A and B are shown apart, each in its own frame.
Chain A
Amino acid sequence: MKPDKPTIKKLYALSNEGHKFSFTLPLKNIIKVNGREYSVELREDEKYGVHVLWKNRRYPVEIVRTKQNRYEILFNDIGHIFTVETPVSMQRRKVLGTGKAKSTTLVVRAPMPGKIIDVLVRENSEVMRGEALVILEAMKMQNEIQSVVSGTVTRIGVKTGQNVMKDDILAEITVK
């Protein structure tokens, strides 16, 4: 992040699904949906913890994790991931052409901590969408971790018998 610029007038929140939201600074307790304005409030109390008050109803809020300008927020029990950009960083992003289009390699991560029971593919092997890559045992269940894309396995990050943490890289698949 660049040092504070008092002149920032706008911020953009880009969702993982590619949706773009813009907010004018200073940030008001207002959101705009389909041209209509609604007031929202962030609150905290003993009974409910941190929550948002919107249309006379409370919704639970959690920050799951933050990493630089990337935020994972749990709102009403559903996770949302946003990167927040200033007009300057937004411009740079456009120039660099970062984002989804650039990446043709899919990183498969462990969805939960557990133990690798079996590795079913080798490096350089072709996999189809839905094909099992590894068997991960967690909570007494053996789970097949499947590829969500068709492509070539360019890297395998684990060995049979190895214990993994959540988000450890299991494999990388380059999309055809």
Chain B
Amino acid sequence: MKTARQMDIKCVAVRTSAEPDAMYLSMADIIHEVDDEAAEIPVFLDIERLIAIALETKCDALHPGYGFLAENAYFAEKCHDNRITFIGPSPDAIYKMGNKPVARQIALKHKIPMATGSHGSVANEDEALLHASRIGYPVIIKAASGGGGRGMRIVRQESEMEKMFILASREAEKAFNDPSVFIEKYIENPKHIEFQVLGDMHGNIIHLGERECSIQRKHQKLLEEAPSPALDEQLRKTMGETAVRIARAVGYYSAGTVEFLLDSDRNFYFMEMNTRIQVEHPVTEMITGIDLIEQQIRIASGEPLALKQEDIKLSGWAIECRINAEDVQAGFAPSPGRIEKISFPEEPGVRVDTGVRAGSSIVASYDSMIAKLIVTGADRRQAVKNTKMALDKVWIKGTKTTLPFFRMLMRNHIFQEGTFTTSFIEKELEKYHASSEYEETIAAWLATKLFIEENLSEKKNNISFDQGRELTPWLLRKRLTQF
């Protein structure tokens, strides 16, 4: 919406009962109220309703964001049918890349390097066992309509197949309304590298370099950076050209992301293409100086790309930390709550994308993201150093967050060297957070202070502190939210 405003485009946003004070509403020119108390499905998943709202408010175009319906071909189709411009790729491209077995077949036809796997969906455990013995263990079961790590299971031996197949299929059905799955060779300890592509409706397609997304847990990305410490100019060129070839194969326009796995011998394998703007797109914007949302809007209105491949110059380094309301010490369990205080460093080289402010609630029904902290530096070393400093200036009270994880990560030597793979967090990290002896001692001091106030003080709940202020455990506890 910020980009749209800069382009003098008026924005309409929908207000829901779950988040009536949401921050995104403050950026909209027109707020559309919906009565969703009795709604059976959330408004943001209700295609007919969203289209009706868009027509009622006379919208010319609709931006689907990066969640909910962004990769729904039917939704894009419906927009077209109602003469609303869908800011994204064609329904056909969404369908082809959204259905993984179809995408695999297209990639195969265009000789894109891929991990060996089943051609098409796998019907049952027995068929899965056959494929797996042909491909060789370990294999990975993936949801045909999947993404975001859901409906994925690694199978290391025959005996695990039945259980994992059922789990993956059931999770796929729940998450994507489609239980079908397929099987691929599982690449051990790869790096997750993805390329940003940009295409217009006139057949021009370019790439904007890569993003390194190997810092993930259970296939959920936690930190992304651009460029990747694993790529050199030559490999970047080869992989980038491959990404463009895939996009071309489906006549892609708008912004899209081609995901690859890179093994330790620097072989790369096409994994999937995301036909939407991604959470981590800011790191690419920071090192290319290109506003991807602006490009999406221009492309959707039929403009040809003003940029050529040779115009794309990567400069500096950018790191994005996803600050989520999660309890790092409880294995990243969601930690919903009400944000009491929130502030971020405001300085050059630091960008914060957030939809949350003091008083906002992180509700369990949406995802747990509080903010994206994007920090740049002249090179990787500088970017890591700047990120470390920026993290120390982030102040969030009211909920547990992933901040301790990132603070620890910035001090980890494997992270600093850049040699980590997607198994780094699960295999090489013993703890997800680090606390110094000083910090533990201060916490012990606080616990002791509380004990004294609760048990030993003459006048309970009425303790004065050095500054002459009265501060009681109750006052402290008032700041708390439900954990």
Give residues in A with beta carbon < 8 Å to B. 1, 4, 8, 11, 13, 15, 19, 21, 23, 25, 27, 29, 31-34, 38, 40-44, 47-50, 52, 54, 57-66, 69, 71, 73-80, 82, 84, 111-113, 117, 120, 135, 137-142, 166
Chain A: interface secondary structure? strand
24 interchain pairs, CB-CB under 8 A: A11-B451, A15-B440, A19-B440, A21-B440, A21-B444, A33-B437, A40-B445, A42-B446, A44-B469, A44-B475, A59-B439, A63-B473, A63-B477, A66-B473, A77-B400, A78-B439, A82-B447, A84-B447, A84-B448, A84-B450, A112-B333, A113-B364, A138-B333, A139-B364
Which of these, A8, A49, A54, A120, contacts B340 with CB under 8 Å? Answer: A49
* Given known A44-B471, A47-B341, A140-B175, contact A84–B451 (CB-CB < 8 A): yes
Bound form: Cα–Cα A162–B337 in Å: 23
Which of these, B175, B333, B441, B454, contacts A111 with CB under 8 Å? Answer: B333
Which of these, A21, A38, A75, A141, contacts B150 with CB under 8 Å? Answer: A141
Chain B contributes a number of interface residues (CB within 8 A of A) equal to 63
Shortest Cβ distance from residue B445 to the other chain A in the assembled complex, whole angstroms: 5
> Which of B442, B444, B471, B483 has the most CB atoms of chain A within a 10 A radius of its CB?
B444
Closest to B335 in A: A112
Question: Does B443 make an interface contact (CB < 8 A)?
Answer: yes
| Closest 4 pairs between A and B when the two form their complex, measured CB to CB | A84-B451, A21-B444, A80-B443, A13-B444
Chain B residues lying within 8 Å of A69, measured Cβ to Cβ, are: 451, 455
Beyond A21-B445, A63-B450, 7 additional pairs, beta carbon < 8 A: A13-B445, A27-B445, A32-B441, A43-B467, A63-B476, A77-B396, A78-B404
Bound form: Cα–Cα A25–B343 in Å: 36
Chain A residues lying within 8 Å of B452, measured Cβ to Cβ, are: 11, 25, 27
Question: Does B367 make an interface contact (CB < 8 A)?
Answer: yes
Chain B residues lying within 8 Å of A32, measured Cβ to Cβ, are: 441
Bound form: Cα–Cα A64–B364 in Å: 19
Give residues in B with beta carbon < 8 Å to A. 150, 163, 167, 170-171, 174-175, 218, 327-331, 333-334, 340-341, 343, 364, 367-368, 392, 395-398, 400-401, 403-404, 433, 435, 437-452, 454-456, 465-467, 469, 471, 473, 475-477, 479-480, 483
